[in-house]
Structure 1
Amino acid sequence: MNTIKTLALLAVACNAHAACPTWPAAQRFELHDDQVIDLRSGLVWQRCSAGQTWNGSTCTGTATTHTHADALGLARQANPGNNPSGWRLPQVKELASLLDMGCRLPAIDASVFPATPQDKAWSSTPFAQRPNIAWTVDFADSYVQNQTGIGNPLYVRLVRSAR
């Protein structure tokens, strides 16, 4: 009987947290045109995915997909001096921190990161046991995966450390 009550309470609690976004954007993010400061991590995110541009109110254009090598190349192009606080491909934990479990399709606060593709995005984190695989974050279903071959074309969102 206690197990059933506990499961019922957990189900209610999970449904109670189904609001999207889970946290008020103003408490979590500071918006600066095409960049977003994550107040929890201190990281600065590009507001739009690679291939899109910020027009002052939303991301326009079509997000583009890239192989893992091309995604790393995009980061190098965005950070020509290899500045330690310059743009880079995020580590898997950093990218996964943007997931909002209360949101679906996409599983991210779309008021902060509009037009986010409902699909996987690359992280810079390789899968240690297999060099031809890297970790990804899926913004459709809010999960992290380590079974994606680096030759597959996926989406990209760059990050940098706060100055």
Structure 2
Amino acid sequence: MKEGVATDRKSRLVWNRCAVGMEWNTDKKRCTGEPDGLNQEAAQKAAQNAGEGWRVPTGEELETLLLDTCEGLKIDNSAFPDIKSSDYGEGANFWTSTEAMPGMFYFFDFANGYADMHSAGYGLSVLLVRDQ
């Protein structure tokens, strides 16, 4: 892992280790600040503002981070140490860019390990991804 990003060798995706609104702290080796609760439009703008190649992940991409564990978060805590702080409502909910039906998009809950959908105007956390 490089500072602030995690590379998945299998999928060849590079992930920002912090939710949008948080920053990687090299000394503490974790994310600091507060995550932004973004609707779909704001999430897409945040990806554009992050620089070339960054995007809101598709459902298939975000699903690659989902771990099948009995206890604890359903994401690698060493790669993504502050996912729990990105809690909006119940769980640790992160947008995908995959539309479930008109105006509704999928999200993953890394606290409970499931996918669901919500209206595009709802505010959730976002992890950004890019190709290697």
Q: TM-score, normalised by structure 1?
A: 0.72
Consecutive aligned runs of 4 or more in structure 1 exceeding 4 Å deviation? none
Higher relative contact order (CA 8 A, sep 6+): 2
Question: What is the aligned counterpart of 2:110 among 117, 128, 139?
Answer: 139
Task: Give the stretch that moved more between structures: 65-74 or 102-111.
Answer: 102-111
Is 1:63 matched up with 2:30?
A: no
Shift of 1:154: 0.3
Secondary structure at 1:32 match in 2: coil
Is 1:122 matched up with 2:95?
A: yes
RMSD of the alignment, in Å? 1.3
Structure 2 residue ranges without an equivalent (≥5): none
Which amino acid letter does the alignment assign opposite residue 94 of structure 1?
E
Cα pair 1:54 1:60 within 8 Å, conserved = yes
Question: Quick one: distance in 2 between partners of 1:103 and 1:68?
Answer: 31
Question: Quick one: distance in 2 between partners of 1:103 and 1:96?
Answer: 17
Shift of 1:38: 0.4
Is 1:41 matched up with 2:11?
A: yes
Change (3 A) 1:103 1:51: farther
Secondary structure at 1:113 match in 2: coil
Question: Quick one: distance in 2 between partners of 1:104 and 1:161?
Answer: 30
Taking the TM superposition and a 5 Å limit, the aligned residue runs for 1:1-150 are 31-56=1-26, 57-79=29-51, 83=52, 86-102=53-69, 104-116=71-83, 117=86, 118-127=91-100, 130-145=101-116, 147-150=117-120
Deviation sequence 1:80-101 (CA, Å, 0-9, x none) = xxx4xx1001000100110111
Using the aligned pairs only, state the percent identity: 35
Change (3 A) 1:103 1:126: same
Change (3 A) 1:103 1:68: farther
Structure 1 residue ranges without an equivalent (≥5): 1-30
Which of the pair has more CA radius of gyration?
A: 1
Question: Quick one: distance in 1 between partners of 2:71 and 2:63?
Answer: 14
Higher strand share: 2
Question: Quick one: distance in 2 between partners of 1:156 and 1:105?
Answer: 20
Q: TM-score, normalised by structure 2?
A: 0.88
Deviation sequence 1:64-94 (CA, Å, 0-9, x none) = 1100111011111113xxx4xx100100010
